[in-house]
Structure 1
Amino acid sequence: MSTDNLTKILTSTIERLSQPESLKELFHQHRDGDPLPSGKALKEIIELSRSILFPGYYGKSTVNIRTITYHIGVNIERLHKLLSDQIAAGLCFVDTKSYDSTTDFLSQYKDKADGLATKLIERLPDIRAILATDVEAAYNGDPAAESRGEIISCYPVIKALVNYRVAHELVKLGVPLIPRIITEMAHSETGIDIHPAAQIGHHFTIDHGTGVVIGATCIIGNNVKLYQGVTLGAKSFPLDDDGNPIKGIPRHPILEDDVIVYSNATILGRVTIGKGCIVGANIWITEDMEPQTKKYKKSN
C-alpha cells in the first residue's frame, strides 16, 4: 500500500470516528479541573480499607498492638484524602450542568466531598463489626476452615464483602458512580457480583463464591448463606410508554432470615423466600416460598 493511500485511509477513519453523531452518549467531554474517578486511586482506597478493617491481614504485616493506633491513623489520613478526591470526581462526573470554567472542580465539590468522606470513615467501626459477623458465618459454615484468620486471608467472600459494605455505605450517603466501581473491582477480583445498592444483613456468607450475582434491589436478611453460581436477579423489565425500561423499581428477590440457597440456583423477580427456607441446587424460582419450606430439583 502506498503512503498516499495509507494516509487517506487513516484520515478518513479519524474523521468518521470523530463525528458527533457516532459519539452520542459514548463521549465524556472533559472540563478544566474535571477529572474522571481514578481506578488506581480506588484500588488504593480498597487496600487501605481492608488494612484498617483487618489490620495485620492486609497492609503492613509488621503491625502489632503497640503500633496499631499509629498504623490505623496513618491509613485513615491517607484514606480520607484519596476518598475525598474520588468522591469529588464522581460528583463532578454526574453533574452535566455547565459551570464557571474559571473555577476548578475542587472549589465546587471539595467541601461536600470532604464531608462525605468523613462520614464514611466515621462508619468504619460499624462496618468492621458487621464484617466480623460475616467472618464468623463463613467459619461456622465451612468445616474445611481451620481458623478465622484463614477466612480473612483466603476466602473471596470476605474481600467481596469489604468492597460491598464500604460501597453500600457510600450509596446510603448519596455518593454517585464510585460505589459501583468499587463493587465491580471486587467482581473482577473474586467473581462475586454484588450491586452496592443491595441490602444485606449480618452473618452473611457465600461458600466458594464464583459466579454469584446479587441485584440492586435485593433485600437479604440475617444468617443467609449462598453457594457458588447463585443468581438473585430480575425476571423482566417493565417498559414505559416509549418502550424503555422503567428504572428504580423493586425487581429482585427478598430473602428473609436463615435462608440457604445451594449452588447454581436462580431466583428471579420480586419474590419472597421466607424465613428458614432451603433452595436446592440447579433450580429456577419465580414464585414466593412460604417460611420453613424446601424446594429441590426432582431426580429422574
Structure 2
Amino acid sequence: MLQSTFVARFLFLLAVVSIVIAAPIPRGLRNARSMIARDDSDSDTASNSNSGSDWDSESGSSSNTDNTSVDSGSNSTSGVAFAADSSIDVAAILQSVESATSNPVSDANYGTGHDSNKAQIYELDMDSSAGRSVYAVEADMDVDCDGTDYQCQGNDDGQSETSYGALSAKRVPFYVLPQSFVDQHNIKGNSLGAIICNNKMFYAIMGDTNGDSPEVIGEASWLMARTCFPNDDLDGAKGHDQSDVTYIIFGSLVPGGINEDSPTIDVDSLQELGDKTMKEFKLSS
C-alpha cells in the first residue's frame, strides 16, 4: 500500500515537471532576455560609438547631450549633426567659390594672426534664393572659446559672452567675423555660414565678432575647429594655421531656434537651412 502510494506521487510530480519544461517562455520574459543579450554584445560598440561625441567643457572627455558630435574619421562627416547632406557636391561648390574673385570687398583684407598672411573677402553674385549679402573668404581657423566655455584650455583672454549671447563654444558650431565688416555690410547676428575644410562642409552661425586692433579673420568655435580638424588637438592656444578653410557667409539668412539666453541652438534648424541653401547654391555666370 505504501509502495503504490509512493509510486503514484512520483508519477504525479514527474508529470508536473514535464508540463513546466514544455511550456513556452512568456513573450515579455523572452524579449527581456534578448534585450539583455543584445545589450551585452553591443556594449563595446556603444562605448566606441560615443568616442567622438561632444567634448566635455572642463576635462575634454566626451558627452552626448546635444547631438553635435565630433567625428574622429578624417574623411567622414558621419554622426556630425551640422554636416552638409551627402548629396551636395562640395568639390563643385568649392571650385566655383575659389574662382569667384571678381568682386573683392573694399577695405576687407584682414590679417589672420599668422605672420603677414592676409585674407580677402569677396562678394558672390548669386543665382539662387540665398538672397543678397553673400560673401566668401579663404582663411585659417583659430579657436574662439568666448561664451560659457571661455575658460577652455589656452584661452587666457576669453570673455564670458559672445557678441550675440551666451553661446557655448563647445556645443555650438559658430564662426567669427571682424566687427567692422559686420557693421559696414549689415551682417545679421547668428547668420548662416557654410564652412569647407578638409574637403568636407559643415554649417555654422556667425556667433561672435572680432574687435581687436588690428582686426583678424579666421576664427571659429572650439566645436567647429575640432570638427574640421579632429586629429589636431586644437584649443585656445593652438589653431589651424594654414589658410585653406573656405567660409561662405550668408549675411541675411538666420536659422530658427536661437535664443540669446541659451548656450545651445537648434542644430536641426541650422542643418535644414544649410542644406536648403546649398542645394540651391549657384553663382551667376
TM-score (norm 2): 0.27
* Larger gyration radius, structure 1 or structure 2: 2
1 or 2, which has the higher strand percentage?
2
Write 1 or 2 for the structure with the bigger share of helix: 1
Indicate the structure whose relative CO is greater, using CA pairs within 8 Å and at least 6 residues apart. 2
TM-score by length of 1: 0.26
